[in-house]
Chain A
Amino acid sequence: MSTTTTTVTAVSPKLGSKKRLPPEVGILLVLFGISAFFEVLGWFLVDQSFLGNMARLQIIILQVSVIGIIAVGVTQVIITGGIDLSSGSVVAMSGMIAATFAQNSAWPKVIFPALTDLPFLVPLAVGLGVGALAGFINGWLITKTKIPPFIATLGMMVSARGIARWYTDGSPVSGFTESFAMLGNGLDRWMPVVIFLLVAAFFHVMMRYTRFGKFTYAIGANPQAARVSGINIETHLIKVYVIAGLLAGLAAMVAIARIKTAQAGMGLMYELDAIAAAVIGGVSLSGGRGRITGTVIGALILGVMLSGFTFLRVDAYYQDIIKGVIIVVAVVVDMHRQSKRSKKT
């Protein structure tokens, strides 16, 4: 049939062979730059090394871990073109509920006296379950009632916080079993970091190398196209929100096990830190673009900044002001980079 077919050549063959640098390289350089910045200022202002202090580095990465675990889930939600404002409150809710199953009998203020000294798997399962349920409700509301993710998760944010307070009338829960406390202090105190890195590695592979991950990107990039490609958008979105809720629950377990107490006010504004980590890490709020590795680096940048300003004895008020500026600058730089890229062709 085909004799002399005309061909469509708009892309030069060279373009195909040119390997692009992964987008994380830029963010990684920013991380190094900020660290170096604090190192140099440290010498001059407080006469100490910023990076040469192992204890400080451990605190940075421990602090980052809880937000990081949440951010891995939030990243997936944002890639679908959604948003999850509820993660901070879900941390409090699942933390409070799970904590009441993690108490030891020696503690004077046991909530359920019949349910003490349970194996750590019970509170862990309860915490993950509560988180997943919250995520399921988010996903169900978004897909079945078609309300925007912003509204659905805003509702969950307010209600989950309310449940966390109502559950014990506002009193904190402490006195955990040894085995449960290991979740936050085990492996020579590195347990939160280990959990964070395992979670990040698992979902990195999932996003990059499984159909599940490809569907997540496809839905964020063009829901209509995803639908005609045969993807069941509703089911998939619910799964993504369940993962986000589950990871918020896991973050709550790590957090309460580490500080050995749960209180209804915990996790305040964690959702915004998680979103900030994702956005600094190059995840596009319009969906379809972003990587778990970027989010991990984004979370580290936030942690280094927080620690760095404390190290330089900068007032906490300034820290927040600067943090806000950094988030906006990160997005501006990212948008600029993307528009430059599309103009090239």
Chain B
Amino acid sequence: MVSALQVDTVSSGNRVPQSGQSEYVLEVVNARKEFPGVVALDDVSLRIRPGTVHALMGENGAGKSTLMKIIAGIYQPDGGEIRLRGEPVTLETPLAAQEAGIAMIHQELLLMNQMTVAENIWIRREPLNKFGLVDHAEMHRMTAELFDRLNIHLDPEAEISELSVANRQMVEIAKAVSFNSDVLIMDEPTSAITEKEVAHLFEIIRDLRAKGIGIVYITHKMNELFEIADEFSVFRDGHYIGTHLSSEVTRDDIIRMMVGREITQMFPKEEVELGDVVMSVKNLTLEGVFHDISFDLRQGEILGFAGLVGSGRSNVAEALFGVTPATSGTIEIEGKPVEIKTSHDAIKLGMAFLTEDRKETGCFLPLDIQENAQVAVIHDDFVSNGFVNESKLVDACIEMCKKLRVKTPNMHECIENLSGGNQQKVLIARWLLTNPKILILDEPTRGIDVGAKAEIHSLITQLAHNGVAVIMISSEMPEVLGMSDRIVVMHEGHATGILDRSEADQVKIMDLAAQ
């Protein structure tokens, strides 16, 4: 399974830093940042050469994003120094950082959705005519020119809210490039885009690198590191671990540095004796979204769904769970035809659904762990005579969170303060409390760190072992290949193939997914 990762090392080492007054375009020296109760960064240093792509690696909570926010002027460091081209600087606001030549692509897309593409890119830098008014025609032209240069095909007058997430990401990238800055920070720029767009982004990055820009690239994806980064620095728990050339290390070396321990088994898939068919789906169609989806799902089976973002995978999951019911087709559960019109119907039939977007449709961010975990089971066994049996409910939640190893001091911690991996575990706990027969997981490990990822993978395996039927949607090829018994590949709303574990590989999937 590991071999499925693209481990090519084409792009490193061939770049000599330009000689000048300083070897580095950006230096962070001994930076320290504390938040109430936590040291987010402890004596961290980072040096970026011009014309290189410098990757930052580390688990969630390692301090990468905090460090980037200090460089971008969003946070103020409690100690240490930032130097630009050898000169010490203080960056008190995002504006100060921009003016000093640092641009950042934010992980959470920071765009004004109700405004146009052009307005978003040039905000605060709008071209003015001789009356001091914004020159919309010129702004349109500048945007078109920028898009031309980056080979992006989007309408400058389109409103952001009308664009797909991938296209919004391209707007963010274009905006960051438009600053013509010396340092460009990219915080997980590929987390929401498809492989085709990743390739496009990498072209842009190589182009910028050739122009001498120092690029800081935060990622969780190992293959990206080897494909695009010249050197990389590793962080762990707010500490700086080390910097290396990416041509000099292996994947396992990096993981060891990141987690401080060996992860021997990435995908602990077990062969499970498959049981009876739990769910049988025939010709499921949601007019205009997906068509004629048919499959059987057995006890103990992990059925992967692969395909590009927007191919309809999540829509199928939402239809199965009654979020947006299908317009035609049949679903049978344990041999009986069922109608699933609402999520409540689905839950009653023993289904559970971990949604794709943790923040938008998963967590109740202002609520605590207990409240987040209990929400799907406040009826049933935990209610008698109209009153919630509080202690029984709390005990069940605590037990489940312990089982999933949610890292938290207590159940009253606000879920917003947990790392992505722990949030995901709480959400899984929420659904496991319902004792599901069928578990639908949409991108179960998106944006979470290597350690938590491995734990969630072994959890899924264990659930399958206990006879739960699992549908797992994932954009990560190694995950789909590593975990699934069979893989449904989707392309533009159609199932273009169902591959068996033994015959599936990356090439075949891409073939079916991209047609």
Contacts and interface: CB of A to CB of B under 8 A. Distances in A.
B203 A2 contact: yes
Interface string B327-345: 0000000000000000000
Contacts of B166: 8, 10
Contacts of B162: 341-342, 344-345
13 contacts: A2-B203, A2-B206, A5-B200, A6-B196, A7-B152, A10-B164, A11-B153, A16-B158, A210-B132, A215-B124, A228-B104, A232-B95, A284-B114
B210 A1 contact: yes
Interface of B: 72, 74, 93-95, 98, 104, 106, 110-115, 119-120, 123-124, 126, 128, 132-134, 136, 151-158, 161-164, 166-167, 170, 196-197, 199-200, 203, 206-207, 210
A210 B133 CA distance: 5
B123 A218 contact: yes
Contacts of A344: 162
Interface in A222-281: 222, 224-232
A11 B200 contact: no
B112 A218 contact: yes
Residue with the highest number of chain A CB atoms closer than 10 Å, among B114, B126, B200, B203: B114
A5 B167 CA distance: 16
Given A1-B207, A6-B199, A214-B134, A230 B98 contact: yes
Given A11-B167, A230-B124, A225 B112 contact: yes
Given A215-B124, A229-B94, A230-B95, A221 B153 contact: no
Nearest to A14: B155
B264 to A, nearest CB: 37
A179 B152 CA distance: 61
A214 B119 contact: yes
Contacts of A288: 112-115
A215 B113 CA distance: 14
Interface in A301-342: 341-342
A9 B119 CA distance: 20
The 6 A-B pairs at the shortest CB distance, nearest first, are namely: A230-B95, A221-B112, A16-B155, A288-B114, A225-B110, A209-B133
A230 to B, nearest CB: 3
Given A214-B126, A218-B112, A230-B95, A11 B207 contact: no
Nearest to B206: A1
A1 to B, nearest CB: 5
A16 B158 CA distance: 7
A11 B206 CA distance: 25
A221 B115 contact: yes
A15 interface: yes
B153 A8 contact: yes
A222 B113 contact: yes
B165 to A, nearest CB: 10
B207 A218 contact: no
A229 B166 CA distance: 20
A161 interface: no
Nearest to B156: A16
B510 to A, nearest CB: 14
A217 interface: yes
B200 A7 contact: yes
Contacts of B167: 8, 10-11
A205 interface: yes
Contacts of A144: none
Nearest to B135: A209
A261 to B, nearest CB: 41
A117 B110 CA distance: 56
Nearest to B112: A221
A11 B154 contact: yes
A252 to B, nearest CB: 30
A146 interface: no
Contacts of A5: 151, 200, 203
A209 B134 contact: yes
Contacts of B72: 228
Nearest to A4: B203
B153 A7 contact: yes
Nearest to A2: B203
A7 B151 CA distance: 6
Contacts of A222: 110-113
A217 B110 CA distance: 14
Given A8-B166, A222-B110, A228-B104, A15 B158 contact: yes
Contacts of B93: 230, 232
A2 B157 CA distance: 27
Given A218-B119, A220-B114, 19 more contacts: A1-B203, A1-B207, A1-B210, A2-B151, A2-B206, A5-B203, A8-B166, A11-B153, A11-B167, A205-B133, A209-B134, A215-B123, A217-B112, A217-B114, A218-B115, A230-B95, A232-B95, A284-B114, A344-B162
A211 B126 CA distance: 7
B123 A229 contact: yes
Contacts of B114: 217, 220-221, 284, 288-289
Contacts of A230: 93-95, 98, 124
Contact of B158 (A7, A11, A289): A11
Nearest to A205: B133
A226 to B, nearest CB: 7
